[in-house]
Amino acid sequence: MRSSVIIATWLSFRGVQTHALGPFEKNIAARADHLNIATTALKPLLSQNASVILPTDNDWDALQIRGTSPRIHPKFNAIVEPATEADVQKTVQFASKFGIPFLAVSGTHGWTKTLNNLPYGIQINMRKLNSVTVDPSGNTATIGGGTLQWEANKVLYAKGKQAVLTLCECTSIAGPMLAGGHSMLQARHGYTLDNLVSARVILANGTAVTASSSSNSDLFWALRGAGQSFGIVTSLQLNVYDIPSTWTISTFIYRSDKLEAVLDAVNKLDGDAMRSQNLVINGVGTRIPPMDPQNPMIIYTLSYQGPEAEALPYFSKFKAIGPITVKPSTNVNNMELYKITQNSVDSAACARNKNSMGSGVSLPSWNTTAARAAFNIFAKMTADRRFSRSVFLLENYGMQGVRAVDPSLTSLSLEERQYPAVANPTIWWNGTAAVGQADAEAYGEQIRQALFAGLPKGAKKHTYVNYAVGTENFNQMYGYDTARVQRLKTLKKAYDPENRFGFYNPVPLA
Ligand SMILES: Cc1cc2nc3c(=O)[nH]c(=O)nc-3n(C[C@H](O)[C@H](O)[C@H](O)COP(=O)(O)OP(=O)(O)OC[C@H]3O[C@@H](n4cnc5c(N)ncnc54)[C@H](O)[C@@H]3O)c2cc1C
Ligand SMILES: *[C@@H]1O[C@H](CO)[C@@H](O)[C@H](O)[C@H]1NC(C)=O
Ligand SMILES: *[C@@H]1O[C@H](CO)[C@@H](O)[C@H](O)[C@H]1NC(C)=O
Ligand SMILES: *[C@@H]1O[C@H](CO)[C@@H](O)[C@H](O)[C@H]1NC(C)=O
Ligand SMILES: *[C@@H]1O[C@H](CO)[C@@H](O)[C@H](O)[C@H]1NC(C)=O
């Protein structure tokens, strides 16, 4: 019988997978006849609008391109585009049954190198599960698991709504949310994951469940902080809010000698309990040779969701530091916001198929001595022509909304709930040479260690899961308090004992 041939072939895959994979076996696993068998076996199980795509198909090459390929290159040898939740379920059941590795892909902007550990297997491309519906109450929206930020923003904006979306238009909603979701609205409403009401999740064994505070509440807890290690979200229900106002924005460009003055001003604002929850502070170090051929510039964008009169007292503090240029924008609506803050789909930040690497560090405040040391390394790195386009993100989006959430409600680490300052040297370079990658990692690590050297006594080293390089240890990303991390590991063992969701900064089994 045909199916027994298929199963026998996949079982031989399974044998390959459970032993150490050598290059020879990987090669075998990629053989075209096996892929054809996969199509034959899986395709009839899927809905009419689902697709299965193989290396011989026209769409194949385009679907290998990621935000940060070639640096990030999970090794796929078949792609499934589910069109329904049941399609995701059947694909996971099929893959799990025969021990075939798989990985969900939505925005393609995941940039941790643990994604490269996928040895071969199925790309579950979530992009057909792309939908946004504001629920009848007007307080939540139901969003497909493969929806991108800009797609959700567009639908919400048309209804006068906004959600705790992340800054770049090009990432998915689910991807950032599952480990946090830093947002221009976090000071008011918490991280994206704090706004998750419920999610439909396909577990490792192919079961579809609802996770919410009243259904599978332990899974709901784990999903909000370590979600990529637990399942595939096919749809999610997120809080939405009425748009209160347009934005007032001002961008200040300083010479690099103003770093200490700017960071002191940011620390003062962050330490002020009265800091407005409407204010977002977004800094970037980057080279602009016509302005300064020797050193990177420092660019600070202050965004305020509210009228100019309320924003000006904040802006005046940054003006007083002595920028060389100031660029104001008033009455910016939620559709224009991404363009003005240089986070739109056509921005450099959203470029695809270019090596980039984050090397994130979260901090309880800026230590200007340590920041200067880190900035000097950044200056040296960007003097190296290969890395000249890199940017040093210096983020303080505001924490009141994040800290207002009881930390026991989600698996998110305590550091991620508390630390207001995020530094993320974002390193860009061209080409596939291993030396480029190694040098980028070395620079990233030096910058990171310089910042960590400025931590106050007793403060823990922390990296936001979604800004990890992929070399961090578990505690640096997921936290240090024993009860929390033990619960995470125990749940991981219960929900995913074979570690099928093991390619994104994975939570180890207990
Ligand atoms: C240009 C850029 C801008 C960024 N901006 C922000 C920001 O403003 N705020 C912020 O918090 N983070 C930001 N990040 C980090 C971002 O959160 C992560 O890179 C995130 O992994 C991107 O998700 P994705 O869906 O785009 O990528 P993908 O590579 O498609 O997915 C990333 C991971 O999530 C998993 N995944 C994707 N979809 C699902 C799903 N439906 N269910 C379960 N797992 C899923 C994938 O399997 C993979 O492991 C940014 C990153 C980049 C490169
Ligand atoms: C398949 O896609 C088409 C076009 O998008 C749509 O009109 C149709 O309703 C879909 N079919 C099913 C069964 O979802
Ligand atoms: C990288 O390649 C692009 C073209 O793809 C080019 O414009 C750019 O100058 C290159 N950058 C470096 C640092 O070589
Ligand atoms: C700031 O960082 C430096 C290291 O760069 C360290 O020596 C100093 O103790 C730190 N200051 C504080 C107040 O923690
Ligand atoms: C699938 O896994 C879940 C979570 O561990 C478990 O509750 C459920 O019984 C499993 N289902 C099957 C069919 O094994």
Q: How far does the centroid of ligand 1 lie from the alpha carbon of residue 393, in Å? A: 17
pLDDT given for residue 98 in this prediction: 80
φ, ψ dihedrals at 93, nearest 5°: -60, -45
* 3-state DSSP assignment of residue 317: helix
Instruction: Report whether pLDDT(34) > 50.
Output: yes
Is any atom of ligand 2 closer than 6 Å to the C-beta of 48? yes
Is any atom of ligand 5 closer than 6 Å to the C-beta of 254? no
pLDDT tens string 296-331: 999 999 999 999 999 999 999 999 999 999 999 999
Please confirm whether the linkage preceding 420 is cis (ω < 30° from 0): no
Is any atom of ligand 5 closer than 6 Å to the C-beta of 207? yes
Is any atom of ligand 1 closer than 6 Å to the C-beta of 153? no
Q: How far does the centroid of ligand 2 lie from the alpha carbon of residue 364, in Å? A: 50
pLDDT given for residue 40 in this prediction: 72
pTM for this predicted structure: 0.94
| Residue owning the nearest CA to atom 8 of ligand 2 | 49
Q: How far does the centroid of ligand 5 lie from the alpha carbon of residue 435, in Å? A: 45
- To test ligand 1's pocket by mutation, which of 63, 109, 224 has the most ligand atoms within 8 angstroms of CB? 109
Instruction: Report whether pLDDT(194) > 80.
Output: yes
pLDDT given for residue 33 in this prediction: 55
Q: Which CATH class is domain 132-243?
A: alpha beta
Domains of the chain, by residue range, sit at: 2-128, 132-243, 247-478
Q: How far does the centroid of ligand 5 lie from the alpha carbon of residue 451, in Å? A: 44
| Residue owning the nearest CA to atom 1 of ligand 4 | 454
pLDDT given for residue 59 in this prediction: 94
Residues with CB under 6 A from ligand 3: 385-386, 388, 430
| Residue owning the nearest CA to atom 6 of ligand 4 | 454
Just give the CATH number of 2-128.
3.30.43.10
State the Cα angle at 168 between 394 and 258, rounded to 5°. Answer: 20
5 pLDDT tier (thresholds 50, 70, 90): very low
Nearest Cα residue to 122 out of 207, 58, 174, 63: 63
7 pLDDT tier (thresholds 50, 70, 90): very low
pLDDT given for residue 36 in this prediction: 61
413 CA to centre of own chain: 16
Decide: 178 and 227 in contact? Cβ < 8 Å.
yes
Q: Which residue has the tokens 């940017």?
A: 391
Decide: 366 and 372 in contact? Cβ < 8 Å.
no
Instruction: Report whether pLDDT(2) > 60.
Output: no
* Range of lowest pLDDT (98-102, 107-111, 163-167, 390-394): 98-102
Nearest atom in ligand 5 to 209's CA = 3
Instruction: Report whether pLDDT(480) > 60.
Output: yes
Nearest Cα residue to 252 out of 331, 304, 320, 327: 327
| Residue owning the nearest CA to atom 23 of ligand 1 | 175
pLDDT tens string 100-157: 899 999 999 999 999 999 998 999 999 999 999 999 999 999 999 999 999 999 999 9
Decide: 176 and 228 in contact? Cβ < 8 Å.
no
Residue 13 vs residue 396, higher pLDDT: 396
In single-letter form, the type of residue at position 454 comes to G
Is any atom of ligand 5 closer than 6 Å to the C-beta of 165? no
CATH topology of domain 247-478: Vanillyl-alcohol Oxidase; Chain A, domain 3 (3.40.462)
CA distance 193 to 187: 14
Q: In sequence order, what are the residues at sequence separation of 6 or more whose Cβ sits closer than 8 angstroms to the Cβ of residue 20?
A: none
Nearest atom in ligand 2 to 49's CA = 1
